[in-house]
């Protein structure tokens, strides 16, 4: 009997018109040996302004879980950290502690430690699989145990540095599994401020401006309009890779990608405000203008600022990176995207994009060497692939998955489908 195995799709999209695709760009790739194991890490701000977002994320979690559960119950570790690193910097030096209106920025803050507030002793993350759980109810019902991260955090939020710190924090032992895919979801109503210079936290207002998180923008962005203190819109803003005050987001890519056996096993998502950058004045101090406002479930007015640094990092993960809107009362659409990308990291055989499949070719990649696969000409042919319709396993977009018929087993590697149209 031939061996039948699900294969994945790689689709390359380019910006040259509606019907052009750049050859060779991967959109989806599936390992020849798939896994249902996923370690899911949430990074949740612990300031007063983020509390409504935590509730919205918890309510929308079933949308993410639905994507992960399409082919059956996954084997999950789910944890949460805060972006509060106190006043520590990338080099380990600490700045002066801060207390007051910007939040309590003390010592090492949460130091990337997982947070669990339901009183459970031991493991600080939720375990949920067909054979093991460490929480009393359903995963969706018990998610609040890790999403209630409090509201007394430092006003200088360092989500990217906190992710890196979480990988080495001894209290998180057991969360990250070598044979599991990794998905990270950042929920932020302001940008990352991962510190390089301990003076970022100092009272040196003559050099750094007022003591609040706008310092992270002023010295962390580079825009077409170089002045970051005069009110008005800013265009073409990107992270300042040469900043000596805050760390270049590119520095975090290796730390995140190296947490999996292959970079394709990592998904990164961010729920942020729109990237419309404008400087305004609060009193006489320059500040980043909110790019969206909304009313939360308690009818309180909420605002969020753009997060250029976090968005840049998210986009480096390409088809496994997704940005959702924090401005929506319902975060289900954003969480659905996060679930699709996490499934891709686990090894998704489905075509998630609506593409012309007649212009696609398949290859098998083993140890970096690609071997073409031919399309099956008949139901009995082997050593070939077909695009099968599967509305149950592949409910999104094309309802197609690629199935390979072989007479022999395949070494560990990746199967890809590249499309040009």
The whole-model pTM stands at 0.89
Is 398 or 157 the better-scoring residue by pLDDT?
Answer: 157
- The pLDDT confidence band at residue 406, using thresholds 50, 70 and 90, is confident
Say whether both 158 and 101 belong to one domain: yes
Are residues 170 and 46 located together in one domain of the fold?
yes
pLDDT band at 11 (very low <50, low <70, confident <90, very high): very low
Tell me: do 260 and 172 sit in the same domain: yes
- 3 state DSSP class of 156: coil
- Over residues 169-212, the pLDDT tens digits come to 999 999 999 999 999 999 999 999 999 999 999 999 999 999 98
Same domain, 311 and 284: yes
What is the per-residue DSSP string for 179-234?
A: TSEEEEEEE-SS----BS-GGGGSS-HHHH-SSSTHHHHHTTEE-SS--SSSSEE-
Residue numbers of the domain that contains 376? 3-32+350-419
For residues 372 and 266, membership in a common domain is answered with no
What is the spatial distance between Cα 181 and Cα 125, in angstroms, rounded to a whole number?
A: 16
3-state helix, strand, coil in the chain (%, to 5): 25, 25, 50
27 and 55 both lie in a single domain: no
Using the 3D structure, point to which of 300, 324, 347 is the last residue of a domain.
Answer: 347
Q: Are residues 292 and 220 in the same domain?
A: yes
12 and 57 share one domain = no
CA separation for the pair 138, 144 (Å, rounded): 11
Whole-angstrom Cα distance, residue 42 to residue 181?
A: 14
215 and 181 share one domain? yes
Residues 308 and 405 both lie in one domain: no
Do 185 and 261 belong together in one domain?
yes
The residues facing 140 across adjacent strands are none
Q: How confident is the model over 32-83, as pLDDT tens digits?
A: 877 899 999 999 988 766 677 888 999 999 999 999 999 899 999 999 999 9
The string of DSSP letters for 318-334 reads: GGGEEEEETT-S--HHH
Q: How far is CA 310 from the centre of its chain?
A: 9
Alpha carbon distance 404, 386 (integer Å): 6
Residues 232 and 356 placed together within one structural domain of the fold = no
What CATH number is given to the structural domain containing 242? 3.40.50.410
Average pLDDT of the chain to the nearest whole number: 87
pLDDT tens for each residue of 255-270 = 999 999 889 999 999 9
Give the chain's domain count. Answer: 2
């Amino acid at each position: 009997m031939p061996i039948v195995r699900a294969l994945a799709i790689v689709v390359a999209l380019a910006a040259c018109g509606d019907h052009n695709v750049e050859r060779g760009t991967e959109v989806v790739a599936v390992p020849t040996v798939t896994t249902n194991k996923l370690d899911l890490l949430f990074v949740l701000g612990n300031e007063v302004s983020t509390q409504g977002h935590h509730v919205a994320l918890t309510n929308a979690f079933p949308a993410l879980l639905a994507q992960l559960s399409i082919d059956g119950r996954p084997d999950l570790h789910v944890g949460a950290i805060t972006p509060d690193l106190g006043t520590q910097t990338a080099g380990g030096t600490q700045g002066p502690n801060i207390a007051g209106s910007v939040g309590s920025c003390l010592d090492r803050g949460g130091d990337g430690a997982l947070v669990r507030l339901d009183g459970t002793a031991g493991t600080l993350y939720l375990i949920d699989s067909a054979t093991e759980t460490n929480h009393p109810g359903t995963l969706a019902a018990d998610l609040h145990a890790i999403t209630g991260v409090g509201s007394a955090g430092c006003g200088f939020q360092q989500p990217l540095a906190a992710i890196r710190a979480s990988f080495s924090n001894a209290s998180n032992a057991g969360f990250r599994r070598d044979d599991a895919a990794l998905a990270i979801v950042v929920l932020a109503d302001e940008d990352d401020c991962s510190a390089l210079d301990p003076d970022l936290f100092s009272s040196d207002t003559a050099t750094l401006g007022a003591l609040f998180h706008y310092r992270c923008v002023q010295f962390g962005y580079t825009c077409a309009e170089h002045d970051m203190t005069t009110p008005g819109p800013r265009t073409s803003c990107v992270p300042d890779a040469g900043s000596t005050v805050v760390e270049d987001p590119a520095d975090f890519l290796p730390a995140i990608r190296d947490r999996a056996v292959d970079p394709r096993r990592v998904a990164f998502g961010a729920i942020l405000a729109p990237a419309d950058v404008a400087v305004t004045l609060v009193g006489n101090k320059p500040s980043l203008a909110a790019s969206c406002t909304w009313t939360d479930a308690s009818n309180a007015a909420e605002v969020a600022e753009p997060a250029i640094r976090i968005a840049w990092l998210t986009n480096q993960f390409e088809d496994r990176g997704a940005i959702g809107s924090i401005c929506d009362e319902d975060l289900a659409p954003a969480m659905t995207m996060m679930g699709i990308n996490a499934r891709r990291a686990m090894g998704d055989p489905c075509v998630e994009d609506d593409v012309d499949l007649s212009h696609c070719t398949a290859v098998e990649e083993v140890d970096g060497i690609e071997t073409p696969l031919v399309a099956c000409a008949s139901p009995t042919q082997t050593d070939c692939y077909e695009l099968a319709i599967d509305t149950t396993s592949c409910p999104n977009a094309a309802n197609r998955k690629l199935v390979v018929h072989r007479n022999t087993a395949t070494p560990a590697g990746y199967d890809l489908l590249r499309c040009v149209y």
